[in-house]
Amino acid sequence: MTEKPMTSRRSFLKAGAIVAAPLAAVAAPAAAALAGDRSSERLARIEDERAIEALNRDLARQVSAGGSIAGLAEPGLVGLAFDPGAEPAEFTISADRTRASVRMACSAEFEREFEGQATLVQMARLQGNGAVRVTEARSFVGSYLRRRDGWRIERIELA
């Protein structure tokens, strides 16, 4: 299996902008004109990227809504957000379009309970602030599998 490094998000967005309108009219002369420069391959790649991005957005929403994510061993994780303007550091899709991986910056919010029995900690707990929320800049690393019904998350971690 070979893996191709994908275009940067910025170039991807450019391409997306180019193909956004023709999507509904792929048989139109303009789309046909693009066929000569491997536009169908590029279009497929864009579709894959969008599908994976949608998976990541759903995942972030699920985390922030308090849901637990199977396989994501990050105790206290209560929030996950991607900068919509940021470019993925890495976005690869296998040539046969069955596997993909992403590495991108994210901000992860954790709720950490105060540890110990120091007086300050005891008093803080007593007045209701027994934990603190901290936001950390992390790298979101995901791998994905394409099944018959579409892309699925295979594994994710916050590096």
Partner 1 sequence: MPGPAYPAVENYRFDWSALDEATIRAALDKVAAAGPQCASGLDGSLAGRTMRIVADGGPYGAGPTLAYRFESGGRLTLSENGGAEIGAGYGALRLGPIAFFAHLIPGTLRGYAVALDEASGLVTVIELWFAGYDKRKREVMRSVSFGYAGDMPVSEERHKFSNRVEGKGFYWKQDGGAETLEYYPSIAYTHWVELTRMNKKQGYSAPADYIQLSETYDLYTRTECEFSGIFQAHVVDLNRAQQVGLRIGFNAADELEFYLFRGEGEWLGQIAKFEQFGDQVAGPMLPRPGPGQSAAIDATAKGARAVYRPLETMPKMSKAAVAAAVKANTLVFAKRTGAGDGAAGMAGNSLPSSGGLAGRNATIRYDGGPVMQYRFDGPEELSWRRDGKGDWTTARYRAWESVPGVFLFGHVLEGMPDYDGHIVCADFESGKATCYNGYLNTPYFANEAGARTLFGKLESEGVPDPGNARHTYTSEMLGRAITYNYSPGLTSMHLYSTPKTTSWIIFTPQGSGGLEWCGSGAQVKIRDGLYFLYWIEEACNGTLGTILINLRTMHDAGIGYHCGTEGLSMSQVGAQCRHAGRFDVERFFADIV
- Contact (Cβ atoms closer than 8 angstroms) between residue 71 and residue 59: no
**Phi and psi angles of residue 131, each rounded to the nearest 5 degrees, phi first:** -150, 165
Using the rule CB under 8 A, which residue among 13, 34, 51, 124 binds partner 1? 124
Give the binding range for partner 1 (CB under 8 A) out of 1-9, 40-48, 124-132, 138-146. Answer: 124-132
List the structure tokens of 29: 């002369």
# binding residues, partner 1 (CB under 8 A): 21
Could you say which of 13, 89, 131, 141 contacts partner 1 (CB under 8 A)? 131
> Residue 140 Cβ, how far from partner 1 at the closest point, in Å?
22
Contact status: 126 vs partner 1 (CB under 8 A): yes
Residues 6+ apart with CB under 8 A from 87: 8, 9, 10, 104
115 binds partner 1 per the rule CB under 8 A: yes
Q: Which stretch binds partner 1 (CB under 8 A): 23-31, 60-68, 116-124, 145-153?
A: 116-124
66 in the Ramachandran plot: left (φ > 0), alpha (ψ -120 to 50) or beta?
left
Task: Write down the least CB distance from residue 104 to partner 1, Å.
Answer: 25
Q: Count of alpha carbons within 13 Å of 159, Cβ hemisphere only? A: 11
Is 150 within 8 Å of 130 (Cβ atoms)?
A: no
| Residue 133 interacting with partner 1 (CB under 8 A) | yes
Binding residue (CB under 8 A) for partner 1 from 29, 65, 128, 137: 128
